[in-house]
Chain A
Amino acid sequence: MHPAPSVIIFTSLSGIGFGLLFFLGLGLPAPKGWVAFVFFAIAYVLAVGGLLASTFHLGHPERFLKAFSQWRSSWLSREAWLSVAALSVMGLYGAGLVFYGVAIAPLGWVGAILSLATVYATSMIYAQLKTVPRWNTPLTTVLFMVLALAGGALLSGNINVAMMLLLAAGVVQIAYWIGGDQALARSGTTLGTATGFAQKGQMRAFEPPHTGTNYLLREFVHVVGRKHAAKLRIISLILMIGTPILMLSLTFSHVIALIAVIAHIAGVFVSRWLFFAQAEHVVGLYYGKR
């Protein structure tokens, strides 16, 4: 799949943003006044910034309101609703903390659940696609959730929880890569089933439909980035998991925390880039590109 920057930024940042809102909603921590304002500002910049970035890849972003209409069948529509609901509820909860110094706990709990549900919906946009075997697994949801929670714990300063979640995220990420590498083969979709000639003999794509490229090849058949996949996986693990854990085990200071957060976000970007760049859409089979 084409690793579009808008979608990488969207899933990474809004994931971490909603992860932070989850912990704020639980009251871990429950700051007041200006400190609360800073916490909520960071969470909203990440979550809303990510959501705005996602509109950049739309052909007609001005029609985005229509995307709220199909929540009964579409995960993208459900995500739109859940994100707005989460941001609204957490906005009220945050206003209570910032302006009145009051934590309305039940409101926070509802907001926390909605924040987590938003990340779940985001992950389901990808996990539902049978056409991309690497994504079509519950592990996609687990990966998105655990990364959002780890990032949220890190940003909210829940150091012990963050350590455990980062370790868990590392394990899930490695399992995801290992499983993903065999996903297309396991799916049973081949050029043979794509054309119906599986039984007829050895086949190869002889001529593509056009000499030039097209939307399908640009969007679904990204093969360039796979060359350095192994190196990028290691870089991603070091930045996303290793560096923050190392930083968290040192004595706390704001500089160290900042390094941990920046490294983690950079690592999530690399991981998310690989998530798209390595995903094989079955339509590539028709072009002999797998």
Chain B
Amino acid sequence: MTELPSRTNRKLGLVIDLDTCVGCHACVISCKGWNTENYGAPLSDQSAYGANPSGTFLNRVHSYEIMPESGGAAQLIHFPKSCLHCEDAPCVTVCPTGASYKRVDDGIVLVNENDCIGCGLCAWACPYGAREMDAAEGVMKKCTLCVDRIYNDNLPEEDRVPACVRTCPAGARHFGDFADPDSNVSRLSAERGGFDLMPEQGTKPVNKYLPPRPKDTMEEVDILAPLLTPIAEEPVGFMAWLDKTLEKI
């Protein structure tokens, strides 16, 4: 049923630390790998080795450059983006078939691919570009929060997290329950000022992003400096004559 639940028992989601993300795209690859081999239709590629490769991805990493207002060095921020499992998910309510739904138990937004007619309206309704129509299967694909990992008793316990979280070499991705104020993700988000993407769209995303810390300004410390003769600010000798002469011309 594509009506949204009024509340969910848990709110499973991710914290993505933009301060720590190094933009290696490992999360993109592990996501594609896991979700191609497991839950639902595989994530297809079209012309993967041709001139115009294109494919379905549930997670994509953008990079942005920020020039601080106060001057100083530009900051490069790597920005992984996947489904935010919104509390007020507009993608769910527009679905005509009931294929899109938000789970009451854990708040995960999923697509029942057997019911999806591939109309694409849910992708239109998502402001984040989190849903992609698979060109080979004609059904909508989206992040499942690795629902087939997190409850999978056949996996070792440390692997029962989404593939992107498990693989991140920088520890920039965290998985947990936002409904519990004492969970790892709730505390991390509170401590570091976790924020929502496009809050004005009213989607109430569950996933939170942690802001990049301001860059340090390094003081110039050179332990060899006292031992070196200072370089003359003003030229002397021939260079001084040349400088003066050229000024006069």
Q: Is the CB of A214 closer than 8 A to any CB of chain B?
A: yes
Q: Is A290 interfacial (CB-CB < 8 Å)?
A: no
- Asked if B238 is at the interface of the complex by the 8 Å CB criterion, the answer is no
Q: Give the interface of A toward B (CB within 8 A).
A: 1, 57-61, 63-64, 66-70, 72-77, 80, 125, 128-132, 187-189, 191, 193-197, 200-210, 212-216, 219-220, 281-283, 286-287
Q: Say whether A203 contacts B65, CB under 8 Å.
A: yes
| Cα distance, A201 to B92, chains bound together (Å) | 34
Which residue of the partner chain, among A191, A213, A214, contacts B57 with CB atoms under 8 Å? Answer: A214
Smallest CB-CB separation from A77: which chain B residue?
B96
* Bound: A86/B195 CA distance, A: 47
Please state if B64 and A206 are interface contacts (CB–CB under 8 Å).
yes
Q: Mark B112-140, 1 if CB is under 8 A from A, else 0.
A: 00011111110111111100111101111
B117 touches A58 (CB 8 A): yes
Are A70 and B79 CB-contacts (below 8 A) given A209-B61, A214-B132? no
What separation, in Å, do the CA atoms of A147 and B195 have in the docked complex? 43
Contact A131 B90 (CB under 8 A): yes
Contact present for A205 and B94 (CB under 8 Å): no
Minimum CB distance partner of B211 in chain A: A196
Q: Are B129's CB and A76's CB within 8 A?
A: no
Contact B116 A60 (CB under 8 A): yes
What residues on A are CB-neighbors of B28 within 8 Å? 209
A196 to B79, CA, bound (A): 11
Number of interface residues of B (CB under 8 A): 67
Flag whether B66 is at the interface (Cβ < 8 A): yes
Is the beta-carbon distance between A212 and B54 smaller than 8 angstroms? Answer: yes
Are B93 and A202 touching (Cβ within 8 A)? no
* Contact call B117/A67, Cβ cutoff below 8 A: yes
* Residues from chain B with Cβ under 8 Å of A63 in the complex: 97, 115-117
Q: CA–CA, A67 to B98, complex, Å? A: 8
Which of A187, A193, A196, A219 has a CB less than 8 Å from the CB of B120? A219
Of A73, A196, A283, the residue contacting B2 (CB under 8 A) is A73
Chain B residues in 8 Å Cβ range of A189: 127, 198, 200-201
With A188-B200, A283-B129 already in contact, the answer to whether A128 and B117 are too (CB < 8 A) is no
Establish whether residues B54 and A197, one from each chain, have CB atoms under 8 Å apart when the complex forms.
no
Residue A203 contacts which of B55, B60, B67, B138 (CB distance < 8 angstroms)? B67
Q: Across the interface, do B55 and A214 meet the contact criterion of CB distance under 8 Å? A: yes
| B22 at the A interface (CB under 8 A) | no
Decide if A203 touches B64 in the complex (CB within 8 Å). Answer: yes
The 7 lowest CB-CB distance pairs between A and B, nearest first, are: A59-B118, A59-B138, A209-B60, A283-B129, A66-B97, A207-B63, A76-B96
Decide: B119 and A201 in contact? CB cutoff 8 A: no
Bound complex: CA of A64 vs CA of B211, how far in Å? 44
Report B-chain residues with C-beta under 8 Å of the C-beta of A131. Answer: 90, 124-127, 201
* Structural contact, A130 and B202, CB atoms closer than 8 A: yes
Q: Which of B93, B97, B99 has the most CB of A within 10 A?
A: B97
Which residues of chain A are within 8 angstroms of B209 by Cβ–Cβ distance? 196
If the complex has contacts A57-B120, A76-B94, A130-B202, are A70 and B2 also in contact, measured as CB distance less than 8 A? yes
Q: Is the CB of B54 within 8 A of A59?
A: no
B26 at the interface (CB under 8 A from A): no
Looking at the assembled complex, report how far the CB atom of A201 sits from the nearest CB atom of chain B, in whole angstroms. Answer: 4
B190 at the interface (CB under 8 A from A): no
Query: Would you give the shortest CB distance from A249 to chain B, in whole angstroms?
Result: 41
Q: How far, in Å, is A8 (CB) from chain B's closest CB?
A: 15
B98 surroundings in chain A (CB, below 8 A)? 66, 69-70
Known: A196-B209, A205-B64, A283-B127. A67 touches B198 (CB 8 A): no
Shortest Cβ distance from B59 into A: residue: A209
